[in-house]
Amino acid sequence: MVKIIVQIPAYNEEEKIGEVIKKIPRDIKGNSVQVMVIDDGSHDATAEVAKKAWADYVIKHPYNQWVWAAFRTWVENFLEVWWDILVNIDGDGQFDPNDIPELITPLLQGSADISIASRFDKHKADNIPWIKEKWNKAIAWIVSKLLKYKIQDLTCGFRAYNRKSLMKLNLLHMFTYTQEVIIDAIGKKLKIVWIPVKVKYFADRKSRVTWSIWAYVKKSLMIIFRTVRDVKPLVFFWLPGLISFIVGCLFLLTFFILYLSSFRTTPYRMYLYLWSVALLFGLLLLIFASIADMIKSQRRIAEENLEMMKKMKYDK
């Protein structure tokens, strides 16, 4: 029998959390399901409502620490208690808990390590803000091209993980975890699948992640920037370095063409200056790429050691 835990991060969700818990199936294909709620410093009765709705575990943070802290909490508890599959679903009722069996099917079959709900595949998300939809699709496309891995939805938090994936994943940035986990998982060759689901957005809903869509975009870009840099350092540094080198060669070629037409250098020295700057910048980036790749090798060794320590600690 596979042990499944459904984890719900919640912050001031007393109105919806009870309904979400009650809709979660407690038996999936003969496998028992438990529910754990992480109350991230709510100021309302979220924890009390979760207990009354028969959540099996309710963990309360003393103050709001953002979703990355909730991620760390439920991963540590998951590994400690020895569950096999962890499902994360929001506590605001945007996602339908009845989609959980379909979400975890690839994990039960052993065909995937992580299963993520896709809001932009077969179904159109109801009432999703235009800017949010376009931003998510655009950033997923960009990261897909950088990593050469088809990504349907980069930021959806409705996900399922097996034990192997949570042993390998490490979270470094203190804001949200959704983008970083996917990029880190791709870098570690974990198998990810996307499952189309329906989702509804509420007009009066206030974000629990950030106070402004622009602040969220800025912080998300920084996380993606840093994670891609760490996971694919050669692509991150080598590609712009090569582009700069090619641009420099074009400046040099332009100079020679103009020089041969008049055999004068004075009017065209600017092309030589531009060539030297572009060449120097390109060479610096290529050097950075080499150094970053060496650092990546050391990080891989450190993370392998960390995974071994996790196994020694949790898989007793």
Whether the predicted pLDDT of 20 surpasses 90: yes
Distance, in Å, from the CA atom of 32 to the CA atom of 177, rounded to the nearest integer, reads: 27
**Is residue 205 over pLDDT 70?**
no
Q: Are residues 210 and 279 in the same domain?
A: no
Alpha carbons 11 and 91: distance in angstroms, whole number = 8
Q: Tell me the residue range of the domain where 304 lies.
A: 233-314
Q: Flag whether pLDDT at 223 surpasses 80.
A: no
- What is the predicted pLDDT for the residue at 212? 57
Give yes or no: residues 22 and 60 share one domain.
yes
Q: In whole angstroms, give the CA distance from residue 285 to residue 279.
A: 10
According to DSSP, the β-strands at 159-162 and 114-118 are antiparallel
Rg (CA), the chain: 24
Please spell the DSSP secondary structure of 216-250, one letter per residue: HHHHHHHHHHHHHHHH-HIIIIIHHHHHHHHHHHH
- In this structure, is the dihedral angle defined by the CA atoms of residues 303, 308, 310 and 313, taken in order, positive or negative? negative
d(CA 91, CA 216): 20
**pLDDT score of 65:** 77
* Last residue in a domain, options 200, 230, 260: 230
Residues 54-92 have pLDDT tens digits of 999 999 988 887 777 788 887 888 888 888 999 999 988
Say yes or no: 184 and 45 in one domain: yes
Residues 202, 307 within the same domain = no
Helix axes 269-314, 213-231, angle to 10 degrees: 90
**Domain C-terminal end among 198, 230, 262:** 230
Reported as type and span, the H/E element at residue 165 is helix 163-168
- Beta carbons of 227 and 183 less than 8 angstroms apart: yes
Residue with structure tokens 């420099």? Answer: 248
What pLDDT is attached to residue 7? 93
**Is residue 45 located within the same domain as residue 78?**
yes
Q: Are residues 239 and 98 in the same domain?
A: no
Are 217 and 90 within one domain? yes
Indicate the residue among 230, 264, 285 that finishes a domain. 230
**DSSP label of 206:** P
For residues 248 and 111, membership in a common domain is answered with no
Angle, CA 161 vertex, CA 163 and CA 97 arms, to 5° = 135
Q: Could you tell me if 40 and 73 are in contact, meaning their C-beta atoms sit under 8 angstroms apart?
A: no
Rounded Cα–Cα distance for residues 314 and 107 (Å) = 21
Which stretch of 105-114, 167-176, 246-255, 265-274 has the lowest confidence by average pLDDT? 167-176
Model pLDDT, residue 25: 94
How many Cβ atoms sit within 10 Å of the Cβ of residue 68?
18
Q: What is the pLDDT of residue 55?
A: 93
The residues pairing with 32 across neighbouring beta strands, listed in sequence order, are 27
- Do 159 and 301 lie in one domain? The reply is no
173 pLDDT band, cuts 50/70/90, is: low
28/116 same-domain check: yes
List phi, psi (to 5°) of 115: -120, 130
